[in-house]
Amino acid sequence: MTPDSSALVIGFDADDTLWHNESIFEKTHERYRALLAQYHDAATVDRTLYATELRNLELYGYGVKGFTLSAIETAIQLTDGKIGAEEIQHLILLGRDMLAHPVELLEGVEETLAALASRHRLLLITKGDLRDQERKLAKSHLAAHFRHVEIVSEKNELSYAEILRRHGIAARRFLMVGNSLKSDILPVLALGGAGAHVPYHLTWAAERVEGVPQAAGRFFQLENLRGLPAVVAALANPNFS
């Protein structure tokens, strides 16, 4: 497919861009710290769990299931194997609760997508567990706004380049919208596209980066998605490059 050199295409992240996600993980972290409080202080629990998650990313990928397995592994480690079957069952139930959690949309999402979808091709580009991401998209009732849905194991320059190639999108006419500078913005800027950063009030440590991208005219900082149409209107000008 030959890339369209004029039409602006917009990609959206899902978790913490369209709906709440990290806040669900944070509530589970609180319950996890309480479960292990008799063994270690909260800082030790957090530090050890984070190290386990990073070590297991290549095997488990992102998402609730990988987090739950890492939480069980960490609990066994921090208790020197003393944690009981009942406590492990509790951790499994915490994971189930996360997977069953209602999908709660962020401010301005529905009206912004509806307005943009009538004029632009929209893509959903998210990483994580396939089944869980499909479940959340279905429960969000937002799927009809997206021409294509991409659920990938990692979001980096290679994965974005492949998505753009497969859908015939010129990088210079692509805008990615998301809460993570690391996963949503920096790879797209590196390819020559544009990025609209909509920060979420919580950010997983593995997604944090220092500084603000230097990409005049291609990087935009928004308070929420309601500010996106103005950015899109400017970039939709065919003279944008």
Which stretch of 10-19, 69-78, 212-221 has the lowest confidence by average pLDDT? Answer: 212-221
Q: pLDDT tens digit string along 165-180? A: 999 999 999 999 999 9
Residue 241 has pLDDT above 80, yes or no: no
For CATH 1.10.150.240, the residue range(s) in the chain are 22-99
- The arithmetic mean of pLDDT across residues 78-87, rounded, is 96
- The arithmetic mean of pLDDT across residues 61-83, rounded, is 97
CATH number of 9-19+104-235: 3.40.50.1000
pTM (two decimals): 0.92
Q: Yes or no: say if 209 and 187 are a contact pair by the CB < 8 Å rule.
A: no
CA distance 20 to 61: 20
What dihedral angle (degrees, nearest 10) is formed by the CA atoms of 113, 119, 125, 130?
Answer: 70
CATH of 22-99, one of 3.30.530.80, 2.60.40.1180, 1.10.10.10, 1.10.150.240: 1.10.150.240
Q: pLDDT tens digit string along 114-149? A: 999 999 999 999 999 999 999 999 999 999 999 999
